Amino acid sequence: MTAGQRHFIVLDLNHGGLLISSKLAGHGYRVTAVDVYGTLPKEKFSGLPAEVEVVSKPPLPDKNAIIITPVHLDPTYPVLAKAISQGNIIYSHHYITGQILREEGIFSQAKVIEITGVKAKTSTATLLARILSFKDKVILHTTRGIEYLSENQHIMLHKGLSITPASILEVVNIVKEQEIEPSVYVLEESLGTTGTGEMGILTTLTPDYRIASDSKWASEAKLQIMQHSVVIMNHQDTRLIENNTKTEIITFSNDSQKADLISRISGETISIVSDGKTIDCKLQPGYNPEEYAISFAASTCAGLRAGADPHDIKRTFEGFSGLEGRMRQVEFQQRRLIDNSSSGLGIDSARSAIEMGLNRSAKNVLIIGEHAAQVCEGFPPENVQILLSEYKPFLDHVILIGKRMENLSSQNIIHRKNLQEGLECALSLTDSGDTIISCVKCFR
């Protein structure tokens, strides 16, 4: 990128566009920042440099403008459609964030590992950060927030930041304010990676889904990960990689004998085989380890490639008791709570939580749905309806969360706005010893 009179049009300020606009203006470019949805409060613009013009109805771009767009934007959006038709340069938010990071040398003193995929991103990132923290100072950014980990410390630095690629720019700012000098960054990202750092991790490409108003598959965006020189990926997804000559691919699997690393869970034990060596671990009770199968395998594969000691992997797994909102069984005001509410929720995970929670000798209440204001990829009502048709006879009450669930109704169904209201309602419907099953797609 060369500063001067170049004009950047940055689309979608809700998903990282503000940070990108500010950075580009700081590099000397003229920037038009487009509030595509017209929903961002004016106070959000107050900190932008004077070189950034914020508009909600932009003029169509001239041929020399460079367009910056998120991978999920509808290609028929007028600015983007015009740019495509007249051959403008178009960069994704992922790409331009990576360029900014490299040009500013932000990670010149630290190792960076980026993680994307359909599911198991947060748990993979968390396990990997814990493995590496025995020897390194690690910054972990996931849907849970920004955390600092070292051998003797684990601190939550910030909550509430999204995992859009441009959020990495804010992660760096927050870490600087804390005067921390990490040696490793482990970064969870949605719909692909920026290509920063040697290693990328692709947890899984299935189940695939459509994005950008059904114009492309999410897997197309996630395969941006092939910009890294080393990619850790699920063996089942290698069939989608074509003509690769630049990237070292290391595979993991829970069943395929052809993978570089094979992980097998049996009850509360896990056995991992890689390069002729075996790591055996005794797992903690209180969560379903099968739901973490991808995370155990991917984090081990990445950890070993990054130089982790197998002993550190073993003690990480043996001390792990699940993550909040990911198949954990906990006590909640004298009730048994199956806590499976997180951004990674899908129909299969919800089904597993219901199966885990159903108790024939006590009352069962299911909280299910989405907090759509927080999650881009929601929990479709049709999937909720499928689960209700399967399990409604075994449930005493169902509490549906989110506006899109309002059309689903039958006997013993209650509607609430969010998870907190759902939990309060569930408490009022249950007594000591009863079971609450929580399956709401939301950031926590």
| Domain map (residue ranges) of the chain | 5-99, 107-317, 326-439
Contact at 8 Å (CB) between 60 and 82?
A: yes
| Superfamily (CATH) of domain 107-317 | Mur-like, catalytic domain (3.40.1190.10)
Is residue 377 predicted with pLDDT exceeding 70?
no
Give the Cα separation of 281 and 318 in Å (integer): 6
SS3 302: helix
d(CA 387, CA 398): 11
Q: Which superfamily does 326-439 belong to? A: Mur ligase, C-terminal domain (3.90.190.20)
**In which region does residue 16 sit, left (phi positive, over 0), alpha (psi from -120 to 50) or beta (all else)?**
left
How is residue 68 annotated by DSSP? E
Indicate if the pLDDT at residue 373 is higher than 60: no
What φ, ψ does residue 86 adopt, rounded to 5°? -105, 5
* Whether pLDDT at 4 is above 70: no
pLDDT digits (tens, 9 = 90+) for 312-340: 999 999 999 888 878 888 889 999 999 99
pLDDT of residue 143: 84
**Structure confidence by residue, pLDDT tens digits, 31-55:** 999 998 887 777 777 778 878 888 8
Measure the CA–CA gap between 23 and 30, rounded to whole angstroms. 11
The mean pLDDT of 48-74, rounded to a whole number, is: 89
Q: Do the Cβ atoms of 424 and 430 come closer than 8 Å?
A: no
**Whole-angstrom Cα distance, residue 90 to residue 80?**
9
Q: Give the residue from 10, 47, 54, 2 showing the smallest Cα distance to 27.
A: 2
On the question of pLDDT at 400 being above 80, the answer is: yes
Cβ atoms < 10 Å from Cβ of 231 = 24
pLDDT band at 5 (very low <50, low <70, confident <90, very high): low
Q: What is the pLDDT of residue 253?
A: 95
β-pairing, 138-142 with 364-370?
Answer: unpaired
Q: Which residue has the tokens 């569930």?
A: 426
pLDDT given at position 111: 96
**pLDDT band at residue 344, thresholds of 50, 70 and 90?**
confident
Average pLDDT over residues 62-74: 93
Q: Give the per-residue pLDDT at 67.
A: 96
Please report the pLDDT score of residue 199 as a whole number. 97
- Better-predicted residue by pLDDT, 254 or 50: 254
Q: Is the dihedral of CA 256, 258, 263, 266 positive or negative?
A: positive
pLDDT of residue 291: 83
Main-chain phi, psi angles of 402, to 5 degrees:
105, 150
The span from the CA of 292 to the CA of 124, in Å, is 8
Tokens 């049996």 correspond to 266
- Give yes or no on whether 107-317 and 326-439 have one common fold: no
222 close to 192: Cβ distance less than 8 angstroms: yes
Looking at domain 5-99, its CATH architecture is 3-Layer(aba) Sandwich (3.40)
Token pair 């600092």 is found at 148
288's CB contacts (< 8 A; 6+ apart) are: 322, 327, 352, 356
Could you tell me if residue 333 is left (phi over 0), alpha (psi between -120 and 50 degrees) or otherwise beta? left
